Amino acid sequence: MKYVRTQMGRLRAGHWVIAIITLATSLTMIGCDTAGKEEGPATRPALAGIFTPPAKTGSQLWAENCTRCHYSRPPTQYSAQQWDVIVTHMRLRADLTGQETREITKFLQGSN
C-alpha cells in the first residue's frame, strides 16, 4: 500500500484524494452560500454606520457639483422659486440624486 507522509502521520494515497475533494467541495459550498448576497444596511444593521459615508450638506453638494461647469454664483442672486426651477433643470444635466437635489435646493433657498 502506498502512503503519503504528513506532519500528522501517514495517510493512504486514496484518503489523501478524498481529503482534497472534501475540502474543495466545502469551499465551493461556502462560496455558493454567500454568492449573490449583498451586505449592506439591510443585512448588517449593526455595521451600517461604519460603511455608509456621512451625508453631505447642501453647500458641499452645491460646491462640488455646480462649480464643475459654472462660476460660483451667490445664493442670493435668485429667488427661492427661481432656484427651485434651476436646480430641478440641472438635476438631469448634473446627474444628481433626489436627495442631493433636495439638499442643494434647501441650501440655496435658505440663503435668501
Residue-wise pLDDT for 17-59, tens only, equals 777 777 677 666 666 555 555 555 455 555 555 656 668 999 8
Lowest mean pLDDT among 4-8, 71-75, 83-87: 4-8
Which has more confidence, 77 or 111?
77
pTM over 0.85, yes/no: no
- For residues 14 and 75, which has the higher predicted lDDT (pLDDT)? 75
**Alpha-carbon distance 76 to 78, whole Å?**
6
Phi, psi for 85 (deg, rounded to 5): -65, -45
How far is it, in rounded angstroms, from Cα 89 to Cα 67? 16
